[in-house]
Amino acid sequence: MLSVSSNDGKINIYSQEILISREEISQRVEELGRQISTDYQGSELHLVGVLNGAFIFLADLVRQLNIPCQICFLQASSYKEQKVSSGEVTLMHNLDLSGKHVLVVEDIFDSGLTLRSILEDLQVQKPLSIEICALLSKIIPDKLPVKVKYIGFEIEDRFVVGYGLDFAEKYREVPHITCLD
């Protein structure tokens, strides 16, 4: 069993509050896949997964698409083993997206800092179109204005892990979204 260390002993990760169940995630990913397939019918879509958090979501999402697609990744980091963003985004990739329909697949849209940095970086390559799909969108008052076309779930401002989301590289394998706060 996985556990989280805390001041009052060990906490079983599976005893933490489940915010979104495995079944709810599966159903919503299927719905998103249908919507994206309809929107891009007749086009090839280039999905850009944001590592490391979006890899499970992207894998499940791409299996729900019925359009031609290519998958690539970029790495973005702003948390650096903290529960809040450091405010500095580091991007690493070697993508060529010129003239392509691009869908950035992200695990969570919280402050908007990471997504804004990704969009600014990728738009330099002059893709034919670029949209964002985020599994989660936090309800935060001072969020940067970034247009996210496809959102899996809106959640309160909670610290969540599971289904690819982590805390210090732990808990990505948990099959549901659970709260650590």
Is residue 164 domain-resident? no
Is residue 144 domain-resident? yes
Is residue 27 domain-resident? yes
Is residue 7 domain-resident? no
Q: How many domains does the chain have?
A: 1
| Position 14, amino acid | Y
Is residue 12 domain-resident? no
Write out the residue range of the structural domain in which residue 139 sits: 22-32+43-76+90-156
Say how many residues make up the chain: 181
Per-residue pLDDT tens listing for the chain (181 residues): 344 444 444 567 877 889 999 999 999 999 999 999 999 999 999 999 999 999 999 999 999 999 999 999 999 876 555 555 556 778 888 899 999 999 999 999 998 998 999 999 999 999 999 999 999 999 998 889 899 999 999 999 999 999 999 988 889 999 999 998 8
Is residue 126 domain-resident? yes
Is residue 15 domain-resident? no
Q: Specify the 3-state DSSP secondary structure of 68.
A: coil
Is residue 9 domain-resident? no
60 catalytic per annotation: no
CATH of the domain at 60: 3.40.50.2020
Residue in 153, 89, 96, 146 with CA at minimum distance from that of residue 126:
96
- Bridge partners of 77, per DSSP, are 90
Active-site residue (options: 110, 121, 142, 157): 110
CA angle 19, 181, 27 (to 5 degrees): 15
